[in-house]
Each structure stands twice: as structure tokens, then as C-alpha cells.
Amino acid sequence: MAAQENSPLRQFVRKALVRTAVGLVGIQAATIGGLVGYDALTKKSRKVRAGFPKPGHYGTDVANSDVDVFTFGADLFDDMLEQIDNAAQTVFLESFIWKGDEYGQKFLDAVNRASERGVDVRVVYDGFGNLVVPDKFYQFHKDVHVYRFPVFRPRLLITPIRASGFTHRKLLIVDDQVAYIGGYNLGSTYATEWRDTHLRVRGPDSWVLRQSFVTVWNTVAAREDKIPRMDPPEWDSRVRCWSNLPMRRVYPIRGMYLQAIDRAKDHIYISTPYFIPDHQILDALIRAQERGVDVRILVPMDSNHVLADWGSRGFYVTLLKAGVTLLLYKDAMIHAKTATIDGVWSTVGTANIDRLSLSFNYEVNLEIIDNDLAAVMERVFEVDSSNAHRLTLDEWQARHPLAWVGEAALAPLRPLL
């Protein structure tokens, strides 16, 4: 037996496998290094066109709540700051990125002022998302309750990695009556240079977003300062909140998308900054297109994460061959995480259609079944599409051969991008 295990053939196979694995890792490392280096060299020459189309600010009624759609960061931030300054009881704020710049300072000053006048202020932000922001920026009033998601958690040593994600959520809830959700992080770049989408919900349906914040605060952040429960003012199934909670290994947003896609009969319009779907979501979109649904996916032509772009591009041929419309947003970063289907169903939230959002991070999305809101979301998608290049299969297959190599090299890393 020992002689068989050490036979020349087995030794040759073992060495060949090791060399192949090392070679693949080397190719991946070289690809990543080359892409990151090229992106850094060319980033300064890629200018943001300040006049990219702004879809506007829309208001509509959903059940017994007022819902506003914001598509320009400065307008949204000014509205959020006004709400914080007028807060009388509570301010709950959560953000993935909180920049130490002009707008970041405005939000810091606003929550400190609120706490100073006796408002119960709870703040959650992510440590990993803000590694480049100096710690000295986060100078909160002594009465502000703050939880910074740590970059490293000891529990990672004893629990599956899927049970310990980052908080990628963006929420603001004021006085249990007004709530905001969407893709906007806090910072000056996002105020004027990025295209994103946020909702403001005023009325009883704001409760679902309050409850989402409370759940994370009371299970992850709180020690003895837990937030008391508030019963829902009413029940209306047209507005639902889906929250990914890694500490409980619960990831319902992916299921929300799969059910909605499978119900589609006419059209599916999706905006996402990073499109790296798993096989089930990819197959669901292709099946929808094959049964006659008009499937359109809007992504940035060049996002702020070059590796995510290349991970996404590996799906383009499959989608284009199936007849799916791919729209590449030009001249600015589009960061909206939205979808609308059949003029009835819509979602706005924090989750991208990628592996990190759908099976790792803390995320939150609103699902709203309402014709008027769907009409607004279709209008926003139409305006964004007017600033996008429609990619064709012939055009994409004619790309440089090195692009094919890069896409193939990064394919095994898609779950990490």
C-alpha cells in the first residue's frame, strides 16, 4: 500500500495539481494587480459630468403613508438634516460609509445637537466601510449611543463567516414617524456626483424600518440600552421590510427577488451598481426573458470597484445571448439598488444583486406593491436609461482577447467581490 501511495504516477499527479493551483493563483493575483493598477492610473482622467440627468423628486401615497422618492443626494441630505434638527424624541441613524467631509460633518453636528437637547440618539456605522476615515472625526456627544461594527470580530474564529457580515444598511428613523432607506451613504461625493435612490416614508409604514433598526440594535449593538418595543400602528401587506441578519443566518432579500422575478409577466427593470448574481437569480432572469418578459438591467459602465465590474462582465455574454437588455450608465456612478416589475411591484433598499449583499452583509430592502409607486420607479428608470449605452452581443464579443482572460481568471472569486 505504501509503495502505491508513493508511486511515480501519484507523485507526478500530485505535483501537477499543486503547480496548476499555484499557477491559477498567480494568474488571479496578476490579473487583480493589473486591473487595480490600471484603474488607479486612469481614474483621474475619468471626469464626472456634473450634468448627468437627475430623474427628480417624486411624492406618492402608499396605503396610509406618504412616500417620497429622492434621486439627488444634496436634496435628500438637506431633507434628512432638517428632520434630525426638528426631532423631538428619537433619532436612529445607520450607515455603511460616513465620510469625514463637509456633509459627513453636517450629519455629525446634527446628531450631536439633537442629543444635546435631550433627543434619544442611536448611531450605527461600519468599521470596515470607514477604514480610511480618521477615528478622530467621530466625535459624538457624550449622550449619543454609538455602535461601530468592528472590522474584526472574535466570533469569526468560532462561527461560520456567513454569520458575521458588515452592516451595509442606510437607515434614518426620526420620532417613530419618518423613515429613510436607500443606497445613499453619508458624504459630499454622494451628494452631487453619484446617482442613487432613497425613499422617505412618513406615516404608519415607517414602523417596519424602525423595527428593522431596533432588531439590529437590540441583538448586535446594545448592552443595557435596548430600545423598547413599539407595536405597529396598523397592518398593511403592501409595504414589507426584508432584513438580512447574519447573526441569525437569515437572508430573505434574495428570496424576495426570486419570488418577484418568477411572478413577472411583462417587464423587469433592475438598477444595481454591482451585478454578480448566483445561479438561481441568473437562471430566474433568463427564464423570465425566455417566456417573453422584457428584462432590463442597468449597471454602471465603470463603477467605483474595478474588480466588481470585471466580476459582473463575466455574465454579459450569457445575458445578451438570452435576449436580456444590458444598459451601461455613463459619466457617473449609479449606485441605486432598485427594481420594479409589471407596473405593480417595486423594491428600494441597500442590497446589491451580488453575493456579499444577498448572503453575507446586514442589508434592508422595502418591498412595495403599489401601482403609483411603480409608475414613479419606471419613470426614474426611463430617465436613467436615457443616459445609458445599450450593449449589444456583437459589440461585447468583439472586445479585446485579454478581457476574456481577465473575466475567466476572476470567475472563481465572484463570491468575494
- Summarised one tens digit per residue, pLDDT across range 315-355 is 999 999 999 999 999 999 999 999 999 999 999 999 999 98
What does the alpha-carbon distance between residue 89 and residue 87 come to, in Å, rounded to a whole number?
6
Q: Provide the sign of the torsion angle of the four alpha carbons 301, 302, 304, 310, taken in this order.
A: positive
Q: Provide the sign of the torsion angle of the four alpha carbons 185, 128, 338, 227, taken in this order.
A: negative
Measured from the Cβ of residue 231, the count of other Cβ atoms closer than 10 Å reads 7
- What whole-number percentage of the chain has pLDDT above 90? 70
User: Residue 8's pLDDT is what?
Assistant: 67
Name the pTM for this structure: 0.87
Phi, psi of 235 (to 5 degrees): -120, 125
What does the alpha-carbon distance between residue 413 and residue 402 come to, in Å, rounded to a whole number?
18
User: What's the mean per-residue pLDDT of the chain?
Assistant: 87
Higher per-residue confidence, 29 vs 140: 140
Q: Is the pLDDT of residue 121 over 80?
A: yes
Find the mean pLDDT for residues 67-80. Answer: 98
Q: Is the pLDDT of residue 143 over 90?
A: yes
User: Which tens digits make up the pLDDT trace of 77-118?
Assistant: 999 999 999 999 999 999 999 999 999 999 999 999 999 999
- For the record, the C-alpha cell of 83 comes out as 428632520
What does the alpha-carbon distance between residue 300 and residue 327 come to, in Å, rounded to a whole number?
8
Confidence of residue 157 (pLDDT cuts 50, 70, 90): low
Q: Which of 208, 141, 227, 210 is nearest to 175 (CA)?
A: 210
User: Residue 307's pLDDT is what?
Assistant: 80
User: Residue 235's pLDDT is what?
Assistant: 80
Find the mean pLDDT for residues 198-225. Answer: 93
Q: Which of 112, 124, 92 is nearest to 207 (CA)?
A: 92
Q: Which of 203, 210, 204 is nearest to 181 (CA)?
A: 210
Q: Is the pLDDT of residue 36 over 50?
A: no
Cβ atoms of 172 and 206 closer than 8 Å: no
User: Which tens digits make up the pLDDT trace of 345-396?
Assistant: 999 999 999 989 999 999 999 999 999 999 999 999 999 999 999 999 999 9
Find the mean pLDDT for residues 204-232. Answer: 92
Residue 248 CB burial class (10 angstroms; 0-12, 13-18, ≥19): exposed
User: Residue 151's pLDDT is what?
Assistant: 87
Find the mean pLDDT for residues 53-74. Answer: 95
Q: Which of 148, 351, 111, 115 is nearest to 254 (CA)?
A: 351
- Intra-chain end-to-end CA distance of the chain, in Å: 44
Find the mean pLDDT for residues 240-263. Answer: 95
User: Residue 15's pLDDT is what?
Assistant: 53
SS (H, E, C) the chain: CHHHHCCHHHHHHHHHHHHHHHHHHHHHHHHHHHHHHHHHHHHCCCCCCCCCCCCCCEEEEECCEEEEEECCHHHHHHHHHHHHHCCCCEEEEEECCECCCHHHHHHHHHHHHHHHCCCEEEEEEECHHHCCCCHHHCCCCCCCEEEEECCCCHHHHCCCHHHCCCECCCEEEECCCEEEEECCCECHHHHHCEECCEEEEECHHHHHHHHHHHHHHHHHHCCCCCCCCCCCCCCCCCEEEEEEEHHHCECHHHHHHHHHHHHCCCEEEEECCCECCCHHHHHHHHHHHHCCCEEEEEEECCCCCHHHHHHHHCCHHHHHHHCCEEEEECCCEECCCEEEECCCEEEEECCCECHHHHHCCEEEEEEEECHHHHHHHHHHHHHHHCCEEEECHHHHHCCCHHHHHHHHHHHHHHHHC
Higher per-residue confidence, 274 vs 304: 274
Q: Which of 377, 384, 259, 391 is nearest to 325 (CA)?
A: 391
What does the alpha-carbon distance between residue 393 and residue 398 come to, in Å, rounded to a whole number?
9
User: Residue 345's pLDDT is what?
Assistant: 98
User: Residue 6's pLDDT is what?
Assistant: 60
Confidence of residue 304 (pLDDT cuts 50, 70, 90): confident
Higher per-residue confidence, 72 vs 40: 72
User: Which tens digits make up the pLDDT trace of 187-210?
Assistant: 999 999 999 999 999 999 999 999
Q: Is the pLDDT of residue 22 over 50?
A: no
Strand order in the sheet with 90-95: 58-62, 65-70, 198-202, 178-182, 171-174, 90-95, 120-126, 145-149
Q: Is the pLDDT of residue 155 over 50?
A: yes
Q: Which amino acid, one-letter code, is at 241?
A: C
